[in-house]
Structure 1
C-alpha cells in the first residue's frame, strides 16, 4: 500500500547543514541552508517557536540564495518554553556568539543581516542597541507587536494577580524567582495534558513575566502608547548601528482590536524621520504570514531591503 502524501498545508522542507555554533557554557546548534555563500541572514523566531516553524522560511531561503545569502537559524536558550527563564540580553549574547562563529569558522566574508519574528524583533533591537564587537549590516523586524498590549486585551483576574506578584518579587530584589505554574507535574499516560506543556505553559521568572506583560519594561518596545521620546530612546541606538526594516501584518491577530496597525508604523516613520528606518504594511498578513500572497510581498520586501544595504 502506498504511503499517503503530505497534506496541502504541510510545511515545505528546507535543506542545509546542522552544526554547533557554541560549546560553552552549553552546546547550541544552528541550521544553515548554504554554508558556501558569503552573506548570512540570521533568523530569530518568537515565543514558543524554534527553527523551521515560521511558514515563509522556505520561500525566503530560495530568494536569499539568489542574492548570495544563506538562511541561518540558531537554537537559543529561549526557544520553545525557554523564554520563561530567559531575557533579551541573554538572547543577544548567544546571537553574538553565533555571529562570531559565522565570521571565524564559516564562510561569512560578506554581509550579515539579523531578522526577528515577533519577540525576535525585540531581540534584534536589543542586539543592535549595544556594541557587541561584531558587525551586523541590517535588521529586519517581522511582526513587531506589543506583548503587553495583547496581554492587556485578554488578561483574567488570575493574570492580574500573577503580574502583581511578579512586580512584588521584583521590588524585593527577587526577580529570578519562579512564579506559580498550573501545568501538570505528572501527566496521565495516554492523555494530552503533558503534550507541549513545557512550551505552552512554561516556567516563568517574575522578571520575564513582568517584562513581557507590563508597560515600561525591557520587552516593551512596540506599544502604541509609548511616547515620542520613548520611541526615540528605544530605536535610535539600534538605528545608529544599522538600517532597519519593520514589516507589520495588516491582519496581525496579536494586535488588539482598536489599534491601527498601519498607524503604528507610520508613527514610527514620522518620529524617526531622517534615520535609516524603513516600514511596510503587508496586506493579508497575519502574525506568522500564513497567506501565500502575503508571503510573496514579505519576501520581496526583504529582498529589496537587502539590495539597498551598502
Structure 2
C-alpha cells in the first residue's frame, strides 16, 4: 500500500476477518549451509492455479480469510514475527508495502492454497516497518530484518530456497535487499514485484509535499534526519525527515520506479536485479499512478532496466489486485513453476 491512503487501510482492516494462527514447533537447528539441498524433483500440476483456487475454496460456514499455519519469531525485536502456511522446504516470502501487515492483499489466501498444491509454503512477514512503523524505519533496516528471516528459514526450516514477492513499497525493500549481497540473499531464487510504483510521483500530487520536502532536507542538513516532521506531513503515521525525504524527494533512497527517471538512472537503481530471475506484475488501472504516466511505457522500461524481467500487465487491475485475484495468483504460480528449482543454480557450489 502506498503512502497517504490510511482510509483505505482502515476500511480493509475493519472488513477483513482475522486469520487463525496455529503455532507449530520448529525443526531442530542445523548449520547455516547444511539445510540447503537443491535439485529435488519438481512436478507441476496439470490444473491451472485458477482451477486449484476453485477446488480449494473455503467450505460453507468457514471464514473467507482464514489460514492455518505456524506463527514464529525470527528475530529479537517484538515486531519480528512471521506466519507460514504449508510445511515445505521452498518458500515464497510476501513483503508488504506501507501500512501493510498480515493478509495485506486479497490474493494471499488463494495464493497460499495454490502454492501448497505445488509443494511451496507462503511466509507472510512482519517487519519493524509494518503497519504504522514505516515512518521511523528505512530500507536498510527492512533489508537487515529480511535477511534475518531468510536465515531463520535456512537454519530452522531447512529451506532449499526462497522466492521474494513484494507488494507496492515492498518491491523497494526487495530491490534494496538484493543490492546488499547479504549472505542469505544467495538463497533467493527469484523475485516478483507486484505494483512497483512511485511513492514520489503519487505524493507530488498532494499540495503539502513540496514544502515538507524542503523542511526534511533542511533538517537532514542540520543533522536531524531522525527527528519527526510535523503531523501534517504524514497524518497516518509519525515520519522522520529521512524517511519522508527518501519516499518523496527526487532520487531519494526509495525513488526506484518513477516514470521521469532516465534509462540510465533506472539501470543504476534496478540493474543488479538482472542477476536474479524477476517478474513484474503491473496493474494497468493502478490508482496510485498519476493519470499522466504512460503505464505501458513505464513497465516496459522497468523490465528492460532489470535486464529483461518477465512482464505481466493486468488490465483494469487496481493497486492491490483485489479486483483481479485469480489473474494475480495465476501469474505468480506460472512464474514460480517456470523459474523453479530445475532452472536455478546451486548458490553454494
User: Could you state the TM-score of these two structures normalised by the residue count of structure 2?
Assistant: 0.76
2:23 is matched with which residue? none
Counterpart-to-counterpart distance in 2, 1:114 and 1:48:
19
1:172-202, CA deviations, whole angstroms, 9 ceiling, x for partnerless residues? 232111111259xxxxxxxxxxxxxxx9621
The Cα of 1:96 is off from its aligned counterpart by: 0.2
2:202 is matched with which residue? 150
The Cα of 1:160 is off from its aligned counterpart by: 2.5
1:139 is matched with which residue? 191
Matched, 1:296 2:296: no
Counterpart-to-counterpart distance in 2, 1:269 and 1:160:
30
Paired residue for 1:76, among 127, 149, 171? 127
Matched, 1:13 2:66: yes
Counterpart-to-counterpart distance in 1, 2:269 and 2:191:
14
1:233 is matched with which residue? 268
Counterpart-to-counterpart distance in 2, 1:32 and 1:200:
32
CA RMSD of aligned residues (A): 1.8
Counterpart-to-counterpart distance in 1, 2:158 and 2:117:
17
1:187 is matched with which residue? none
1:122 is matched with which residue? 172
Matched, 1:60 2:111: yes
Asked whether the 8 Å contact 1:48–1:200 carries over to 2, the reply is: no
1:265 is matched with which residue? 299
User: Could you state the TM-score of these two structures normalised by the residue count of structure 1?
Assistant: 0.85
The runs of 5 or more residues in structure 2 that have no matched partner are 1-16, 18-62, 344-349
The Cα of 1:163 is off from its aligned counterpart by: 1.7
Counterpart-to-counterpart distance in 2, 1:238 and 1:259:
23
Q: State how 1:157-196 maps to structure 2 within 5 Å.
A: 158-182=208-232
Q: SS of 1:247's equivalent?
A: strand
Paired residue for 1:113, among 154, 157, 163? 163
Asked whether the 8 Å contact 1:282–1:297 carries over to 2, the reply is: yes
Asked whether the 8 Å contact 1:37–1:107 carries over to 2, the reply is: no
The Cα of 1:55 is off from its aligned counterpart by: 0.8
Q: SS of 2:188's equivalent?
A: coil
Asked whether the 8 Å contact 1:30–1:73 carries over to 2, the reply is: yes
Going from structure 1 to structure 2, the CA distance change for 1:200 and 1:120 (only over 3 Å counts) comes to farther
1:287 is matched with which residue? 319
* Structure 1 residue ranges, 4+ long, deviating more than 6 angstroms after superposition: none
Going from structure 1 to structure 2, the CA distance change for 1:263 and 1:182 (only over 3 Å counts) comes to closer
Paired residues in the alignment total 277
The runs of 5 or more residues in structure 1 that have no matched partner are 1-5, 184-198
